[in-house]
Amino acid sequence: MRSDRTCLRATWLLLVAAAAPGLADVFSSEFFFDPVSEGWELIQQICAETRVDDGWYYQRFDHDVCPLGSATGQDAYVRSITEFNGEPQFFLEFRVQTDGDRSEIPRGAPSGIAMGCFCGVIYHVTVARDLVKFIGHFDLPGWFIEIEPGVPHTYRIELYPDRYAFYIDAYLIDEGLPDGPFPAHDSRISWRGKSWYLPCENAWDYIRYGVIPVDGSGDYDSDAEVTLDDFYFVHECLTNQRPGVNGGPGNDAGPACRFADFDFDTDVDLLDFAAFQLTFTGGE
């Protein structure tokens, strides 16, 4: 599923070795390794077959292999984001594909991610094969959005003091006033694969969150330097033209790649890469 980026991932591994996935003001889980090794706390793992393959994390749930009496299969993780408390511009982005049925959504399956706090703020995305449910307010039922089955899709939530915005494949789906400030007290992000009635397989490409980088800065991790850490994400914006990933010459860069659009013409091309080279400060 990731043959077009195998060489880039190999280069990236050589550069960062076994470094932690946190990059200054961004946490980036690229699934070179299992989730626990990349900084997540395992909540529960029941009847789940998991593996890491070429930068994808796979979760497979098959009720035939569950112990007698098991009600569900689950592989779930959590991580505190209290280090971002009070951050006025925050994002969460993830990319996943599942073959799970939409009938599993009411039970929080087959794949999903949530971020919230005890202050009553929650953002929740549940993804099935051809349908997505998004909740942006604690007391509202949420949106249902049809998606193309059989391909991975990219989901992004951006948070500002006066609004939130939810994107699928760089297209704005919903925006509105937030229930309150977030991240705030005891904030965390949790994600999982789950099977309630039907078997499924989920494939996670990455989960990223942190400070929204400045447009046209080339500084993805907002550490005031433009280094090889940033190059990984600039390269992604420059070369990816797969379903669910915007970028490359002539394509709208989308919200995830605005930081790499140096000339503010909506795409990321060789002119932007030349500007990145001029801005490059070296190192990792």
In angstroms, the CA 213 to CA 248 distance is: 19
Q: Are residues 117 and 235 in the same domain?
A: no
Q: Are residues 234 and 271 in the same domain?
A: yes
Which own/partner pairs from 129-137 qualify as long-range (CB within 8 Å, at least 24 positions apart)? 129/98, 129/99, 129/100, 129/101, 129/102, 130/102, 131/102, 131/105, 132/168, 133/105, 134/166, 134/173, 134/174, 136/164, 136/166, 136/174, 136/176, 136/178, 137/176, 137/179
Average pLDDT value for the chain: 87
Residue 100 maps to which CATH number?
Answer: 2.60.120.200
pLDDT at 202 over 90: yes
pLDDT at 18 over 50: no
Q: Are residues 42 and 183 in the same domain?
A: yes
Q: Are residues 33 and 138 in the same domain?
A: yes
Looking at residue 283, its pLDDT comes to 61
114 - beta bridge partners?
124, 190
Q: Are residues 250 and 174 in the same domain?
A: no
Each residue of 206-241: pLDDT tens digit? 999 999 999 999 999 999 999 999 999 999 888 865
One-letter amino acid of 145: I
- Do residues 98 and 203 touch, judged by C-beta distance below 8 A? yes
Q: Where do we find the tokens 């330097």?
A: 225
Looking at residue 28, its pLDDT comes to 94
Q: Are residues 100 and 151 in the same domain?
A: yes
Each residue of 22-63: pLDDT tens digit? 567 999 999 999 999 999 999 999 989 999 999 999 999 987
Q: Are residues 106 and 160 in the same domain?
A: yes
Global confidence as pTM: 0.89
> Is residue 84 assigned to a domain?
yes
Which of 250, 153, 214, 225 has the alpha carbon at shortest distance from 145?
153
Each residue of 171-192: pLDDT tens digit? 999 999 998 899 988 899 999 9
User: Which runs of E-coded beta strand occur in 99-152?
Assistant: 111-116, 122-127, 131-135, 143-146
Q: What total number of domains does the chain contain? A: 2
pLDDT band at residue 253 using 50, 70 and 90 as cut-offs: confident
Each residue of 62-106: pLDDT tens digit? 877 666 545 579 999 999 999 999 999 999 999 999 999 999 999
Q: Is the dihedral of CA 206, 208, 212, 216 positive or negative?
A: negative
Looking at residue 51, its pLDDT comes to 97
Q: Which structural domain, as residue segments, surrounds residue 240?
A: 228-279
Looking at residue 6, its pLDDT comes to 39
pLDDT band at residue 248 using 50, 70 and 90 as cut-offs: low
Each residue of 113-124: pLDDT tens digit? 999 987 778 999
> Is residue 34 assigned to a domain?
yes
